[in-house]
């Protein structure tokens, strides 16, 4: 939490500073509200959430004298209200034997790292966990999962050759997982967004093919987004939602980010559960998402 706080306060120093200079002691008139809205948009909260927050202020406080502290507290509350409904843990049901988590997202957002961290956490909870190195074109991703597999004792299903068919690999892995008692199967996937239709076909094929083994799979589709990419993260959420039925989000790199506000924009725009936030490189740095703490952190 302290890391998240450090990251967020670094990131949002600008937001809180702007609020402080805006509202040292000031009447909340049209001009002030407009400036507040611009400040929120600049901090990546998105137009819809920024407008919603400012309209809330207009209803409750219009024409009143306010201090910067009052505004910050009220902002944190308004943000927590938007984040509250999406702060939900990722349900894992080992009775699916295994529970299959398909992990999707653009390369570099932190998919493989997130899978490794989840594997370690599930192992610590005593769950038998395995990885599928489904990004078969990226030798580095396959190697990274092998290293984490060795470290955590999670079995790793690797492609027989570079560029092997990811759907076939996932199919074999799920069959093996059913046979060896794996309880959680984490499937890594490619994230080459520059070839959108090929990527969509690949992801849909994985889903189709694993359903031949278990028609209820995948049980979770986790989309990984990099908070530092700001509005690109919003765009990626749109694109991936069209490709597969995303069930929840992991938002990474909130430790160094200047863009924590994008989580608010994501919540407002998509309403998808935010299951995890990433605040560093270690396994424990993948945290459950807590709306109130996050909102407070965002306001410094
Ligand atoms: P992938 O291409 O989506 O599989 O991305 P990777 O898992 O390889 O991650 C890309 C880079 O982001 C790596 O250097 C990771 O260590 C780093 N990374 C992932 N999550 C976080 C995070 O929460 N915080 C920080 N600081 N770095 C992260």
Instruction: Give residue for tokens 């060896």.
Output: 180
Which of 113, 119, 166 has the most ligand 1 atoms within 8 A of CB, as the residue to mutate? 113
- 136 in ligand 1 pocket by Cβ < 6 Å? no
Indicate whether residue 191 lines ligand 1 (CB < 6 A): yes
Maximum mean pLDDT: which of 5-14, 18-27, 242-251: 242-251
**pLDDT for 300:** 74
Binding region for GTP: 105-112, 188-192, 252-255
Task: Tell whether pTM > 0.90.
Answer: yes
Residue 24: how many CB atoms within 10 A of its CB? Answer: 10
Query: Is the Cβ atom of 134 under 6 angstroms away from ligand 1?
Result: no
Q: Is the CB of 278 under 6 A from ligand 1?
A: yes
Three-state DSSP at 255 gives coil
Range 134-163 average pLDDT:
93
Indicate whether residue 39 lines ligand 1 (CB < 6 A): no
pLDDT of residue 1 exceeding 60, the answer is no
Is residue 50 very low, low, confident or very high in pLDDT (cuts 50, 70, 90)? very high
Whole-number pLDDT of residue 21: 72
Of 30-39, 182-191, 198-207, 209-218, least confident by mean pLDDT is 30-39
Is residue 108 left, alpha or beta, with left meaning phi > 0 and alpha meaning psi from -120 to 50?
A: left
Could you give the percent of the chain with pLDDT greater than 90? Answer: 78
Residue 13 pLDDT > 80:
no
Helix/strand/coil (H/E/C) assignment for every residue in 217-280: CCCEEEEEEEHHHCHHHHHHHHHHHHHCCCCEEEEECCCCCCCCCHHHHHHHHHCCCEEEEECC
Distances (CA, A) of 178 to 71, 95, 101, 129, 299: 54, 11, 14, 12, 47
Residue closest by Cα to atom 16 of ligand 1: 281
CA distance 212 to 75: 49
Query: Taking the CB of residue 151, how many other CB atoms lie within 10 A of it?
Result: 13
173 falls in which pLDDT band (50, 70, 90)? very high
- Quote the Cα angle for 206-211-217, to 5°: 90
How does strand 274-278 pair with strand 129-132? unpaired
Average pLDDT in the chain: 92
- Mean pLDDT confidence for 181-204: 95
Contacts of residue 232, defined as CB under 8 A and 6 or more positions apart, other chains included, come to none
Cβ–Cβ < 8 Å for 141, 156: no
């Amino acid at each position: 939490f302290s890391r998240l706080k450090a990251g967020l306060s670094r990131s949002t120093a600008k937001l809180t500073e702007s609020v402080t200079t805006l509202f040292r002691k000031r009447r909340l008139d049209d001009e002030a509200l407009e400036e507040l809205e611009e400040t929120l948009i600049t901090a990546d909260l998105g137009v819809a959430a920024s407008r919603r927050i400012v309209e809330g202020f207009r209803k409750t406080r219009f024409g009143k004298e306010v201090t910067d502290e009052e505004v910050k507290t009220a902002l944190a509350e308004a943000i927590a209200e938007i984040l509250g409904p999406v702060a939900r843990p990722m349900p894992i049901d080992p009775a699916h034997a295994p529970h299959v988590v398909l992990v999707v997202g653009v390369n570099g957002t932190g998919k493989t790292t997130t899978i490794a961290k989840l594997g370690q956490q599930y192992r610590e909870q005593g769950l038998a966990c395995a990885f599928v190195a489904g990004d078969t074109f990226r030798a580095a991703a396959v190697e990274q999962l092998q290293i984490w597999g060795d470290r955590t004792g999670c079995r790793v299903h690797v492609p027989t050759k570079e560029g092997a068919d990811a759907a076939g690999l996932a199919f074999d892995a799920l069959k093996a997982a059913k046979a060896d008692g794996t309880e959680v199967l984490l499937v890594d996937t490619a994230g080459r967004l520059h070839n959108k239709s090929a990527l969509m076909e690949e992801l849909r094929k994985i889903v189709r093919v694993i359903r031949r083994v278990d028609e209820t799979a995948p049980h979770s589709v986790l989309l990984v987004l990099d908070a530092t990419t700001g509005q690109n993260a919003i765009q990626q959420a749109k694109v991936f939602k069209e490709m597969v039925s995303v069930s929840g989000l992991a938002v990474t790199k909130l430790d160094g980010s200047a863009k924590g506000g994008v989580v608010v924009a994501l919540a407002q725009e998509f309403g998808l559960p935010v299951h995890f936030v990433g605040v560093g490189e270690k396994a424990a740095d993948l945290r459950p998402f807590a709306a109130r703490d996050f909102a407070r952190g965002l306001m410094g």
